Amino acid sequence: MGNPDDLISLKNFAHTDALRPVAVPQGWAAGVVWDGTKGTITSGPLDAAPEDWGPLLLARGLDPERYHVVGNVRWCSWDGWQRSEPGEPAVSAMQYSFKAEIALKASAQPDLEALYKEIRKARKRKQAAPVGLDGAWVIAISDWQTGNGDAGGLEKQLQQIADLPAKLEARLKALRKAGVPIGHIVIAGLGDLVEGCHSFYSDQTYSVQADRREQMRIVRRGVLDIVRTLAPLAEKVTLTAVGGNHGQHRQNGKAITGTADNDDVACFEQVAEILAEAPDIYGNVEVRLPHDRLALNLEAGGQILAITHGHIARGKGDPASTLWAWWAGQSHGRYYPVGDANVLLTGHYHHLCVRVQESRALFIAPSLTKVGDYWGASTGYVTDAGTLTFVLSSSGWSNLEVLR
């Protein structure tokens, strides 16, 4: 018999946020210090004090038959992230590190040669380079608003979407020809890929040029064509998405279902199920989708990339300042783990904007076409439309390009 849970679950597409490794307080790095007769051992992050120090000593190259912990155990604590089970959402949790004095057991006879070897083994090992430092190419699929009647309408949108896979392939080849090593491609759906049919602005039902089913079909086929084109060109492809306000189900201007019920994410979920039927062809494509969350993190090129549509940020002032303040608030309040990210990528505002502060960067992606006639009429500004792309690596971000 079939499993009814398969009809409702996200299966293997459920997203798990990438989290920044939390630095332990200064002087509490895990390791051993030994001066030949006595020393200290410091644990890594733990949830509670170790009842048996033997495994920790052994892990640092010290034989528990020869060494033991003496005296009082010191400890420190800090805020970190914790999951109850793999794949579950991360929650803020207290973490601890413990430090203790160590000494030779009375029965142990010093053996200088063996001791020297043990000390060498106990030295901090050189850490392996993180995976993915060969570079990740990020593609922002943002604000297509399929069916919107502005700036050439549906005909213009269809042409732009149909041309996009070839433009992306050409850009990828140009980057590699220029010596930019790219092994990972991130295709990030930033929301508002569909226009919706009513309840977003006053004349929407009159001006929209495609019904809901047609809008979703265009998005589904457009994203699938991008994956088909790029999947053979990279070792790893990540397909991810968050919901936008136009993907909501509204009535009289208000959402009438929960945040999980969003057409933007549903389109990517449909693509994911199509890809899952051909693992021999798309085995290098991983899909990371939220259930009801409006922001998520993932690792890309040695950086932590956060994505959100942008409509949940509230504040006065320009869009970049509003989003920057929201990002800072998440760092303090820790509702979403986006505060751990080095790079925040959003849509919603239709205009390209980049803000950089030391090691952090905010990118607001432009819309695919010049949607937003109402905005131009009220402000005089018109979208410089296109598809935002950039590269992430261990040294940060580079090679920003808007494909038009």
Both 221 and 255 in one domain: the answer is yes
End-to-end C-alpha distance for the chain, whole angstroms: 50
Both 301 and 345 in one domain: the answer is yes
- Mean of pLDDT values over 17-31: 75
Q: How far is the C-alpha of 346 from the C-alpha of 68, rounded, in Å?
A: 53
Q: How far is CA 242 from CA 62, 247, 249, 387, in A?
A: 49, 10, 15, 17
CATH code for the domain in which residue 252 is found = 3.60.21.10
- Which stretch of DSSP H or E encloses residue 267? helix 263-276
pLDDT over 90 (residue 260):
no
Strand 285-288: give its sheet, edge to edge. Answer: 285-288, 236-241, 184-189, 136-141, 387-393, 396-403
pLDDT over 70 (residue 349):
yes
Both 86 and 184 in one domain: the answer is no
Q: Which residue range is the domain that position 370 belongs to?
A: 136-403
- pLDDT (tens digit per residue) in 357-379: 988 999 999 999 887 776 677 67
Residue in 262, 178, 271 with CA at minimum distance from that of residue 225: 271
Quote the mean pLDDT of the chain: 85
Q: How far is the C-alpha of 344 from the C-alpha of 324, rounded, in Å?
A: 9
Q: Is residue 331 part of a domain?
A: yes
* Residue 123: per-residue pLDDT: 47
pLDDT over 80 (residue 134):
no
Identify the DSSP state of 124: P
* Residue 20: per-residue pLDDT: 67
**CB-CB contact of 191 with 242 (8 Å):** yes
Burial class of residue 250 (count of CB atoms within 10 Å of its CB; 0-12, 13-18, 19+): middle
- Which stretch of DSSP H or E encloses residue 321? helix 319-333
Q: How far is the C-alpha of 21 from the C-alpha of 29, rounded, in Å?
A: 13
Both 158 and 180 in one domain: the answer is yes
Q: Is residue 42 part of a domain?
A: yes
Both 102 and 166 in one domain: the answer is no
* Residue 125: per-residue pLDDT: 39
Both 195 and 278 in one domain: the answer is yes
Number of domains into which the chain is organized: 2
Angle subtended by helix axes 153-177 and 212-230, to nearest 10: 10
Both 252 and 294 in one domain: the answer is yes
Which tokens sit at 338?
Answer: 């986006």
* Residue 292: per-residue pLDDT: 92
